[in-house]
């Protein structure tokens, strides 16, 4: 079968793709499986989509794996998601490191058990010099929380009010040094931002697909990148030309 992916048709590739991996629960429900089976399938899919991002030349990828609001899910689901995060590190770190993937974390590590925290810190340290793909794991992350933290830190450091610029605020975000997302993908059809990268996503292009996250494969990512390549990003101007 011929590969439907034709990289030459992608006239521009987003530097930074951010993904709201939604629909794991409904994917499982449709199959009569427990919700955690959906998260497991979602985790498997994540491996494939990371590889596809590397293949397509995406340089930064941010994935929304656990929001500050997700703590209010049933305890066994929360525990399951924390366990999956640990499994991802245990099973994938060596290969991701070998492929040149740098792992970053955005959000808070408090709330992680000491073992998980140590593993996340180790992954960050081990991969810090890799630059093929920068993979930001948003885990215990919330956009409003991030902005509040940035404001607190600026005040603590005594930054004068008139020195506060958009560039400075960006440097106080968890994503300091990471370019803003060019494309935000949300699977499973919901049309909301869900507290994800609300500062950084100001001018991101959105792509929403009804496909549930576990089924969002390489070809679906290609379709999202094709859609992105057609967009005229004007950033508030009348033309995308400078």
Which residues are catalytic, by number? 22, 70
Among 16, 36, 37, 42, binds ligand FPP (CB under 6 A): 42
Q: Which is nearer to ligand FPP, 16 or 40 (CB)?
A: 40
- Residue 43 within binding range of ligand FPP, rule CB under 6 A: yes
Minimum distance, C-beta of residue 25 to ligand FPP, in the bound complex (Å) = 2
Applying CB under 6 A, which part among 79-87, 93-101, 115-123, 217-225 lies near ligand FPP? 79-87
The footprint of ligand FPP on residues 167-196 (CB under 6 A) is: 188
Applying CB under 6 A, does 24 fall inside the site for ligand FPP? yes
Q: What are phi and psi of 61, to 5 degrees?
A: -135, 130
14 binds ligand FPP (CB under 6 A): no
The window from 17-25, 115-123, 170-178, 221-229 that contacts ligand FPP (CB under 6 A) reads 17-25
70 binds ligand FPP (CB under 6 A): yes
DSSP string for the chain: ---S--GGG-S---SEEEEE---HHHHHHHTT--HHHHHHHHHHHHHHHHHHHHHHT--EEEEEEEEGGGGGS-HHHHHHHHHHHHHHHHHHHHHHHHTTEEEEEES--BTB-HHHHHHHHHHHHHHTT--SEEEEEEEEE-HHHHHHHHHHHHHHTT--GGG--HHHHHHTSTTTTSPPPSEEEEETT----TTSSTTTTTT-EEEEESS-GGG--HHHHHHHHHHHHH----TTSS-S--
> 120: closest CA among 99, 144, 90?
90
136-155 residues in contact with ligand FPP (CB under 6 A) are 137
Stretch that binds ligand FPP, among 19-27, 102-110, 144-152, 218-226 (CB under 6 A): 19-27
Q: Is 37 in the site for ligand FPP (CB under 6 A)?
A: no
Please report the sign of the dihedral spanned by the C-alpha atoms of residue 63, residue 65, residue 66, residue 70: positive
- Which of 105, 150 has the CB closer to ligand FPP? 105
Binding span for ligand FPP by CB under 6 A among 21-29, 98-106, 113-121, 221-229 = 21-29
Query: Chain centroid to CA 142: how far?
Result: 12
Indicate which single residue of 10, 13, 15, 26 sits in contact with ligand FPP (rule: CB under 6 A): 26
Q: Please report, as ranges, the residues that interact with ligand FPP according to CB under 6 A.
A: 21-26, 39, 42-43, 46, 65, 70, 81, 84-85, 88, 137, 188, 213
């Amino acid at each position: 079968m011929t590969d439907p992916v034709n990289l030459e048709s992608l006239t521009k590739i987003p530097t930074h793709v951010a993904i709201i991996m939604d629909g794991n629960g409904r994917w499982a429900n449709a199959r009569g499986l427990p919700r955690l089976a959906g998260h497991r399938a979602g985790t498997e899919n994540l491996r494939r989509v990371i590889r596809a991002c590397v293949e397509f030349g995406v340089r930064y990828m941010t994935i929304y794996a656990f929001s500050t609001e997700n703590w209010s899910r049933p305890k066994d689901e929360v525990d399951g998601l924390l366990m999956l995060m640990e499994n991802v590190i245990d099973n994938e770190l060596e290969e991701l490191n070998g492929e040149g993937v740098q792992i970053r974390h955005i959000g808070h590590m408090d709330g992680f058990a000491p073992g998980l925290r140590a593993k996340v810190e180790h992954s960050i340290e081990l991969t810090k010099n890799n630059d093929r793909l920068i993979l930001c794991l948003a885990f215990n992350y919330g956009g409003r929380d991030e902005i509040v933290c940035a404001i607190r830190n600026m005040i603590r450091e005594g930054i004068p009010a008139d020195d506060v610029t958009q560039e400075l605020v960006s440097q106080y975000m968890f994503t300091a040094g990471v370019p803003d997302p060019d494309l935000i993908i949300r699977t499973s059809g919901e049309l909301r931002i869900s507290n994800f990268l609300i500062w950084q996503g100001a001018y991101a292009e959105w792509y929403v697909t009804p496909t549930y996250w576990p089924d969002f494969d390489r070809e679906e990512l290609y379709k999202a990148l094709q859609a992105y390549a057609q967009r005229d990003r004007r950033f508030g101007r009348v033309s995308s030309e400078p």
